[in-house]
């Protein structure tokens, strides 16, 4: 399969592009700075320069591909306006280019944050969404825009907190969550299982315009998550802020529809395998 992967120098996209290339797909990576993609080039990934806000560059990027896997996003540090421009309008530009090029399938990596806080209940894909402003709201807007594009075969993967493969995501999140509650739980997904989910929606016939939560079998509490990187548990000093992130994902649909089974069902499994 010939694939265009966006965000291929980011945390999720770089590891996903590598795995797709290693499984035998022809991967074309859309990047703003080709000098950051040398490791992918060494794996045979085709590197093309482009930007979600540069419509002309997208026309060339989607030409001749079977599917688009759209991972690019502006997350940390983005204002609400910047998040909207990249994550919503940029996605619309890419989708329009894909539609004009008759691309067969469009896979969008969204976020579980679109559900908004729900008191730690496991959210299902058909539940109402009340995302916080900024990044979460921009991703939900992009989902809805994609589903409105006539003739585009869309799958949406709502990702949890993604970790593993040498990604320092957990360490980087510890300072932000230092004031959270130690017993608060967080849905996780290993990079290997994000790649598995993408492969399954690319390879398996399923209804178009389908949304799937991607999530491990177990959501550890934050004390356990912090301990995995040698950090003391959070101190609970910012309980009000923590409530905004008190939400879990239900992963039954992906398992039932497409036979997804996590390679690393629990954080402890990844730690034991040395890939956390």
- Domain of 64: which CATH number? 3.40.50.720
Tell whether 178 is covered by a domain: no
Tell whether 127 is covered by a domain: yes
Q: What percent of the chain has pLDDT over 90?
A: 94
**C-alpha triplet 179, 265, 22: angle, nearest 5°:** 110
User: For the segment 101-138, what is each residue's pLDDT rounded down to a tens digit?
Assistant: 999 899 999 999 999 999 999 999 999 999 999 999 99
Give the domain extent around 129: 2-167+188-216+248-269
Residues with catalytic function: 135
Look up residue 52 and give its two tokens: 């979600």
d(Cα 61, Cα 49) in Å, to the nearest integer?
8
What's the whole-number mean pLDDT along residues 256-262?
96
Provide the pLDDT for residue 266.
98
Tell whether 19 is covered by a domain: yes
Provide the pLDDT for residue 31.
96
User: For the segment 164-176, what is each residue's pLDDT rounded down to a tens digit?
Assistant: 999 999 999 999 9
Tell whether 181 is covered by a domain: no
Query: Is the pLDDT reported for residue 207 higher than 80?
Result: no
- pTM: predicted TM-score of the whole model, two decimal places: 0.96
User: For the segment 42-84, what is each residue's pLDDT rounded down to a tens digit?
Assistant: 999 999 999 999 999 999 999 999 999 999 999 887 888 999 9
User: For the segment 221-233, what is each residue's pLDDT rounded down to a tens digit?
Assistant: 999 999 999 999 9
Residue 198 CB neighbour total at 10 angstroms? 24
Residue 241 CB neighbour total at 10 angstroms? 12
d(Cα 200, Cα 79) in Å, to the nearest integer?
34
Q: What percent of the chain has pLDDT over 70?
A: 100
Please provide the average confidence, as pLDDT, over all residues in the chain.
96
Tell whether 29 is covered by a domain: yes
Tell whether 237 is covered by a domain: no
How many structural domains comprise the chain?
1
Tell whether 180 is covered by a domain: no
Tell whether 228 is covered by a domain: no
């Amino acid at each position: 399969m010939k694939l265009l992967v966006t965000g291929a120098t980011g945390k999720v996209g770089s590891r996903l592009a590598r795995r797709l290339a290693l499984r035998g797909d022809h991967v074309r990576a859309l990047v703003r700075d080709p000098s950051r993609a040398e490791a992918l080039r060494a794996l045979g990934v085709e590197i093309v320069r482009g930007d979600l806000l540069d419509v002309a560059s997208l026309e060339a990027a989607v030409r001749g591909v079977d599917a688009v896997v759209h991972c690019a996003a502006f997350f940390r540090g983005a204002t609400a306006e910047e998040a909207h421009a990249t994550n919503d309008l940029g996605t619309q530009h890419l989708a329009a280019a894909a539609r004009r090029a008759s691309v067969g399938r469009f896979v969008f990596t969204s976020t579980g944050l679109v559900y908004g806080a729900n008191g730690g209940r496991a959210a299902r894909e058909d539940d109402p969404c009340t995302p916080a402003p900024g990044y979460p709201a921009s991703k939900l807007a992009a989902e809805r825009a994609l589903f409105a594009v006539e003739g585009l075969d869309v799958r949406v993967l709502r990702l949890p907190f993604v970790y593993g493969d040498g990604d320092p995501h957990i360490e980087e999140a510890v300072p932000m969550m230092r004031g959270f509650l130690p017993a608060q739980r967080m849905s996780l997904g290993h990079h290997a299982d994000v790649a598995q989910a993408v492969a399954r929606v690319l390879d398996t016939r399923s209804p178009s315009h389908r949304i799937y939560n991607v999530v491990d079998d177990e959501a550890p509490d934050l004390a356990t998550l912090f301990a995995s990187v040698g950090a003391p548990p959070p101190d609970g000093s910012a309980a009000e802020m923590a409530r905004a992130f008190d939400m879990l994902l239900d992963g039954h649909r992906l398992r039932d529809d497409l036979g997804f089974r996590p390679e690393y069902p629990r954080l402890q499994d990844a730690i034991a395998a040395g890939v956390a």
